[in-house]
Amino acid sequence: MTIRYPNGKVYRQPSHSKSKPSKFANVNFGDRGMSLEEEINDSNTYYLENDIAVIHKKPTPIQIVKVDYPSRSAAVIKEAYFQHASTTDYNGVYRGKYLDFEAKETKSKTAFPLKNFHDHQIKHMRQCLHQGGICFVIIRFASLGRLFLLKATDLFSYWDHQQDGGRKSIPLTDIEQRAAELQYHINPLIPYLNAIDNIIDEKPSSN
Amino acid sequence: MTIRYPNGKVYRQPSHSKSKPSKFANVNFGDRGMSLEEEINDSNTYYLENDIAVIHKKPTPIQIVKVDYPSRSAAVIKEAYFQHASTTDYNGVYRGKYLDFEAKETKSKTAFPLKNFHDHQIKHMRQCLHQGGICFVIIRFASLGRLFLLKATDLFSYWDHQQDGGRKSIPLTDIEQRAAELQYHINPLIPYLNAIDNIIDEKPSSN
């Protein structure tokens, strides 16, 4: 059955499967039916299994109201609700650095709407950046099949400008200039750590 | 109502409250009824609100089977199950470093049973360590009111020895020698980052 978040978005069960990412990456690369979340999870599995990085998606926080105990080994949650996370979805460690990011997609062909991000995500990324973490967003223009990695500091400038009455989206032309475009690959499906290498190697504290 | 994990441990709802930690820390410090998890969450709130570190407990992963949609804004989960996490409970960033840890307590007065840890947690900490993260466990001897921070590498040596038929717990006397003892404080309740400062400052890559 299809399970949806309150906002109507389809909920996907974390896979925890042991299937080699290499196998289905061969079949499914480049916008062929996987969600951006699935593509990133797949890439993270590749990075993990190849000792390149340890990056996980955090579980969705759930408020539990009622649990039944038919037996101690099989507690059944009978009433619970989706909660808003107080952080971003992904974090982990790579080359000794703390990484923290969010992944979002749009159907727009011309600009990335800022409403895809939430106050608490922006606040969390500012906090992590302040502690020396590397923070960014991976954004996909689904209709164009194009994928970018934008540094959080660049996102903040549009976010803050919006708060002051500025435009409510980031033009694709600006993203083309400021962000790193990511090309779909096989292993990993989305080689986004290459763009992180550039950030780390450029200026250690400029992310 | 009291909600329990399959292992019988009481489930505590994450607070997300905005109450000042300073207030209840004054009332509740030093083993006065809070669980170790609550004490660490409280300390992390203090560190976050004072721009010292960004460390969060990950939500418990839940497998969702059935959801009702009385309206789009209030999806109700009607059947779901607790899952085992594939990582440790806590991670975050401090002084530009990735921190990753687990917190456990025992009623024993003489040794810390290794059965408090799980294979996947040990594996995850090894992976994070390999990427340059700082990994450790915070362990509490509840009956003694004593609290220690033990580096993951020290834990591994006992863990591996156990796999080879060695003893199934770490003697308190060994912990006293190898770990940093943490003293309850007011703000934060458990000032565990002081011990991390020593790890960072001693040898940058020796954690």
Res B203: pLDDT: 63
Asked whether the predicted pLDDT for residue A17 surpasses 70, the reply is no
Averaged pLDDT, A195-202: 94
Cβ atoms of A54 and A99 closer than 8 Å? no
| Helix A119-130 / helix A152-163 crossing angle, nearest 10 deg | 130
Q: Within an 8 Å CB–CB cutoff, is residue B132 touching chain A?
A: yes
The greatest distance separating any two alpha carbons of chain A, rounded to the nearest whole angstrom, comes to 58
Asked whether the predicted pLDDT for residue B22 surpasses 80, the reply is no
Q: Within an 8 Å CB–CB cutoff, is residue B203 touching chain A?
A: no
CA B19/CA A121 separation, integer angstroms: 21
To the nearest whole number, what is the mean pLDDT of chain A?
Answer: 87
Averaged pLDDT, A123-148: 97
Q: Is residue B204 very low, low, confident or very high in pLDDT (cuts 50, 70, 90)?
A: low
CA B196/CA B207 separation, integer angstroms: 9
What is the CA B104 to chain-centroid distance, rounded? Answer: 6
Convert the pLDDT of each residue in B100-121 to its tens digit.
999 999 999 999 999 999 999 9
* ipTM of this complex: 0.82
CA A41/CA A57 separation, integer angstroms: 7
CA A176/CA A170 separation, integer angstroms: 10
Asked whether the predicted pLDDT for residue B24 surpasses 50, the reply is no
Using the beta-carbon criterion (under 8 Å), do B77 and A72 form an inter-chain contact?
A: no
B2, B48, B54, best to mutate vs chain A, most A CBs in 10 Å: B54
Report the 10 Å Cβ neighbour count for B181: 11
Asked whether the predicted pLDDT for residue B53 surpasses 90, the reply is yes
Percent residues over pLDDT 90 in chain A: 74
Which residues of chain B make contact with A8, given a CB cutoff of 8 A?
72
Cβ atoms of A151 and A195 closer than 8 Å? no
Res A205: pLDDT: 52
Asked whether the predicted pLDDT for residue B205 surpasses 60, the reply is no
Using the beta-carbon criterion (under 8 Å), do A3 and B133 form an inter-chain contact?
A: no
Which residues of chain A make contact with B1, given a CB cutoff of 8 A?
66
Give the tokens for residue A39: 């593509």
**Which stretches of B110-186 are DSSP H helices?**
119-130, 152-163, 172-178
Pick from A42-46, B33-37, B124-128, B168-172: least confident: B33-37
User: Dihedral of CA A6/A8/A9/A14: which sign?
Assistant: positive
Asked whether the predicted pLDDT for residue A100 surpasses 50, the reply is yes
Q: Within an 8 Å CB–CB cutoff, is residue A203 touching chain B?
A: no
CA of A173, closest CA in chain B: separation in Å? 32
How many pairs of residues across A and B have Cβ atoms under 8 Å apart?
150
Using the beta-carbon criterion (under 8 Å), do B132 and A75 form an inter-chain contact?
A: no
Asked whether the predicted pLDDT for residue B29 surpasses 80, the reply is no
3-class DSSP state of A51: coil
Q: Which residues of A line the annotated binding site for Mg(2+)?
A: 87, 89, 102, 121
3-state helix, strand, coil in chain A (%, to 5): 30, 30, 40
CB hemisphere CA count around B83 (13 angstroms): 21
**Least CA distance to B96: which residue of chain A?**
A132
Cβ atoms of B176 and B112 closer than 8 Å? no
Closest CA to A160 of A125, A189, A186: A125
CA A200/CA B96 separation, integer angstroms: 12
Q: What are phi and psi of A174, to 5 degrees?
A: -70, -40
CA A125/CA A154 separation, integer angstroms: 12
**Residues in contact with A68: Cβ distance below 8 Å, sequence separation at least 6, in sequence order:** A75, A76, A78
- From residue A147, how far is each of A67, A125, A181, B51 by CA, in Å? 41, 20, 6, 33
Cβ atoms of B200 and B50 closer than 8 Å? no
Asked whether the predicted pLDDT for residue B124 surpasses 70, the reply is yes
Asked whether the predicted pLDDT for residue B85 surpasses 50, the reply is yes
Question: Domains of chain B (ranges plus CATH)?
Answer: 19-59+86-202 (3.40.1350.10)
Q: Within an 8 Å CB–CB cutoff, is residue B5 touching chain A?
A: yes
Q: Is residue A202 very low, low, confident or very high in pLDDT (cuts 50, 70, 90)?
A: confident
Strands B146-151 and B97-106: unpaired
What is the CA B41 to chain-centroid distance, rounded? Answer: 9
Res B71: pLDDT: 72
Give the tokens for residue A17: 């499967």
* Segment holding A63, helix H or strand E: strand A62-68
Convert the pLDDT of each residue in A142-178 to its tens digit.
999 999 999 999 999 999 999 999 999 999 999 999 9
Res B8: pLDDT: 53
Using the beta-carbon criterion (under 8 Å), do B69 and A131 form an inter-chain contact?
A: no
Nearest to B5 among A75, A92, A124 (CB): A75
User: Dihedral of CA B154/B158/B163/B164: which sign?
Assistant: positive
CA A39/CA A34 separation, integer angstroms: 6
Nearest to A75 among B6, B56, B78 (CB): B6
Interface of A with B in 151-180 (CB under 8 A): none
To the nearest whole number, what is the mean pLDDT of chain B?
Answer: 87
- From residue B162, how far is each of A110, B119, B156 by CA, in Å? 59, 12, 10
Which residues of chain A make contact with B85, given a CB cutoff of 8 A?
59
Report the 10 Å Cβ neighbour count for A5: 13
Asked whether the predicted pLDDT for residue B128 surpasses 90, the reply is yes
CA B79/CA B76 separation, integer angstroms: 9
Q: Which residue has the higher pLDDT, A9 or B121?
A: B121
Res B73: pLDDT: 66
Q: What are phi and psi of A139, to 5 degrees?
A: -120, 140
Asked whether the predicted pLDDT for residue A89 surpasses 60, the reply is yes
Asked whether the predicted pLDDT for residue B147 surpasses 50, the reply is yes
CA B70/CA B76 separation, integer angstroms: 8
